[in-house]
């Protein structure tokens, strides 16, 4: 009974996190949804299906998501929750030499991402104003380096997701089999949760 209660609380906190991420992305101007609130079998409905998902509270960005996925390139991608992001001039998930002068960031900044998939767009106009950091999912291989740096030193706004539209929905997720933190879970994805996989910033 106690175990069942604990499981239910864990699940609720995961859902809150998933919901917060989806909400944050929406409020941040991204036409993008991470996952539905219908993780419960009884309310998910007959047309719902399972998806594999990463529990953001458990993932430690070990790097295995990039290589263990049965899909190539991996179905795992990094995203940046714009509501949590501080939109700093210098971003830990973007470059590693954070003391660099702001005008040299784009030319001399040492990129955290080996694919240079973390993009930086000036949002407010001034050279030291607000900056939007986004992930180019066409380049992202799911290595987690940006999210690790952001979680270790920044605002923890970057994290990894398994994209439902890319995932092959393998019976046994290969990442779940090797994840050292038990961070891969199977959740319900309702038909009304129209996952679009769109990452463009609106109004930019
Ligand atoms: S550092 Fe890795 S996870 Fe982050 S955007 Fe680049 S390839 Fe994707
Ligand atoms: S279910 Fe398959 S395709 Fe989806 S994340 Fe796991 S290994 Fe990759
Ligand atoms: S294998 Fe697990 S801990 Fe490693 S990056 Fe993937 S979800 Fe995170």
Å from CA of 184 to ligand 3 middle: 8
Beta-bridge partners for 13: none
Indicate the average pLDDT of the chain: 76
The rounded Å distance from CA 37 to ligand 2 centre is: 21
Residue 186's pLDDT is 83
Q: Domain residue spans in the chain?
A: 2-83+139-189
pLDDT digits (tens, 9 = 90+) for 16-36: 344 334 433 333 333 333 444
pLDDT(2) > 60: no
**203 C-alpha to ligand 1 centroid (Å):** 25
Q: Residue 12 to residues 5, 19, 95: CA-CA distances in angstroms?
A: 11, 10, 35
Cβ of 173 less than 6 Å from ligand 1: no
Q: Is the peptide bond before 73 cis (omega within 30 degrees of 0)?
A: yes
Sign of the four-CA dihedral 101, 102, 106, 109: positive
| 8 A C-beta contact, residue 175 and residue 68 | yes
Query: For residue 4, how far is its CA from the centre of ligand 1 (angstroms)?
Result: 36
Q: Please state, as a whole number, how many other Cβ atoms lie within 10 Å of the Cβ of residue 23.
A: 14
Contacts of 197 (CB under 8 A, 6+ apart): 32, 137, 163, 165, 166
Number of the ligand 3 atom closest to the C-alpha atom of 76: 6
Which ligand neighbours the alpha carbon of 182 most closely?
3
3-state secondary structure of 106: helix
pLDDT at 165: 78
Residue 129 has a pLDDT of 76
Task: Give 91's pLDDT tier (boundaries 50, 70, 90).
Answer: very high
170 CA from centroid of ligand 2 (Å)? 6
Residue whose CA is at the smallest distance from ligand 2 atom 8 = 69
Top-ranked range on mean pLDDT: pick from 94-108, 112-126, 156-170, 171-185? 171-185
181 DSSP assignment: T
Looking at residue 163, what is its pLDDT? Answer: 86
pLDDT score at 102: 85
Residues 116-155: tens digit of each pLDDT: 999 998 877 666 678 999 999 899 999 999 999 999 999 9
Closest atom of ligand 1 to CA, residue 142: 3
């Amino acid at each position: 009974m106690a175990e069942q209660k604990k499981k239910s609380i864990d699940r609720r906190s995961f859902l809150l996190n998933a919901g917060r991420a989806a909400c944050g992305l929406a409020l941040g101007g991204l036409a993008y949804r991470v996952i539905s609130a219908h993780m419960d079998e009884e309310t998910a409905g007959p047309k719902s299906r399972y998806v594999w998902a990463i529990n953001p509270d458990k993932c430690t960005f070990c790097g295995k998501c990039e290589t263990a996925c049965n899909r190539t390139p991996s179905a795992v991608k990094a995203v940046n929750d714009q509501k949590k992001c501080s939109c700093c001039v210098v971003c830990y998930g973007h470059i590693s030499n954070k003391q660099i002068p702001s005008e040299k960031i784009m030319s001399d900044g040492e990129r955290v991402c080996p694919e240079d998939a973390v993009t930086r767009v000036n949002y407010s106009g001034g050279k030291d104003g607000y900056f939007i950091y986004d992930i180019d999912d066409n380049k992202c291989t799911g290595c987690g380096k940006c999210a690790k740096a952001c979680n270790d030193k920044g605002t923890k706004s970057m994290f990894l997701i398994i994209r439902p539209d890319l995932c092959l929905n393998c019976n046994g997720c290969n990442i779940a089999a090797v994840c050292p933190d038990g961070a891969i879970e199977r959740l319900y994805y309702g038909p009304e949760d129209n996952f679009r996989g769109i990452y463009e910033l609106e109004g930019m």
